[in-house]
Amino acid sequence: MYILGKCIFTWLSRQCSEVETKEEYNQSFYNLKAFLTNWRTCRDLSQACCQAVVELQENLRSKESKLGNHFRLFLRNCMDAMTTSPVESCNHSVKHGSFAVHSNMNLDMTCAKILDGANMRIQRRRNLAEVEMAKFNHASRGITKDVLITKGQRLVDQEHDNRLKYCCVQLNAESFIVWNFEKENLGETNQGWPWTELPRFHRVRKLVLHSHLGKHFIKCSCGFRERVGIPCRHMLCVLDGAVEISMMDVRLWEAFHKHYREKSILVRLLQYIIFTFIGNH
């Protein structure tokens, strides 16, 4: 029963973190529904339990626009976000910790706690940025290791190494396709049922080159560059591993974290709204 539960949890998690198109989402949904009606699954979990999971999946599907990974595929700088809802993404920061707020607080205390929590998070980011500036990255041999934060360089190295697993074909002067149909990073493939029931999708990435004002740009259908801010493994496969600092989003530069993060315009707007519109009532 534990293995089945873990498998179903993984299945639902991948709908929220890995599927890349509406078609993949629907296929995963219907496959799980069929899996839950399978005699073997019903025997091991019971009919009532399987029906409860079916209802859970239906409820999750009603929030597909907020939870489905395919809606975040090209959202800029969302990186590891698990929802498109700004309310849900702020729940943990607002409802937990020493600056948590709840419905029994008055407006003055609520605003003060929200502002103090925002200031605390800003200061924490600044302190982390100062630590990053003092670090030397000896674990990487990348040419950008001295100008990117540790997490950014780790992602660059990961994508740079993984590019070697892919095949690449140029279709014409402006487009390429990149693919890898081998089952990589799927440890469940050798574990037997029920892990073999998890859907896997073969994806062919399409890359397009274009120029503007004498500068050359490349765009990949995976959306990784938009979400994370670094070239994806498919781009690096086409570019034969060439990496430059200009390819990286400025948020991953050490200098940005040091000098600009604490001056975020969003934070200034939040402070202005709280003091001007809420603090006066």
pLDDT tens across the length of the chain (281 residues) = 788 888 999 999 988 888 999 999 999 999 999 999 999 999 999 999 999 999 999 999 998 988 888 888 888 877 777 777 666 667 777 787 788 888 888 888 888 888 888 788 777 777 776 676 666 667 777 778 877 878 888 889 999 999 999 999 999 989 999 999 875 555 455 578 888 888 888 899 999 998 888 888 899 999 999 998 899 999 999 998 888 878 888 777 766 655 555 445 555 555 556 555 544 54
Residue among 224, 236, 106, 218 nearest 162 (CA): 236
Helical residues (DSSP H) of the chain, grouped into ranges: 2-17, 22-36, 39-45, 47-61, 64-67, 86-95, 107-133, 150-162, 224-228, 233-238, 254-259, 265-273
- Cβ-defined contacts of 99-107 (< 8 Å, 24+): 107/278, 107/281
Cross-strand partners of 148: 253
Helical residues (DSSP H) of 46-85, grouped into ranges: 47-61, 64-67
Helical residues (DSSP H) of 62-166, grouped into ranges: 64-67, 86-95, 107-133, 150-162
pTM of the model: 0.75
Q: Which two tokens stand for residue 144?
A: 């950008």
Question: 199 phi and psi, to 5 degrees?
Answer: -70, 140
For 202: left if phi > 0, alpha if psi spans -120 to 50, otherwise beta; the answer is beta
Q: Which two tokens stand for residue 17?
A: 């973190």
Tracing tokens 């000098």 back to the chain, one arrives at 259
- Are 52 and 105 a contacting pair, CB within 8 Å? no
Cα separations in angstroms, 226 against 7, 72, 218, 229, 266: 30, 10, 12, 6, 20
- Are 28 and 11 a contacting pair, CB within 8 Å? yes
Residue among 233, 231, 227 nearest 203 (CA): 233
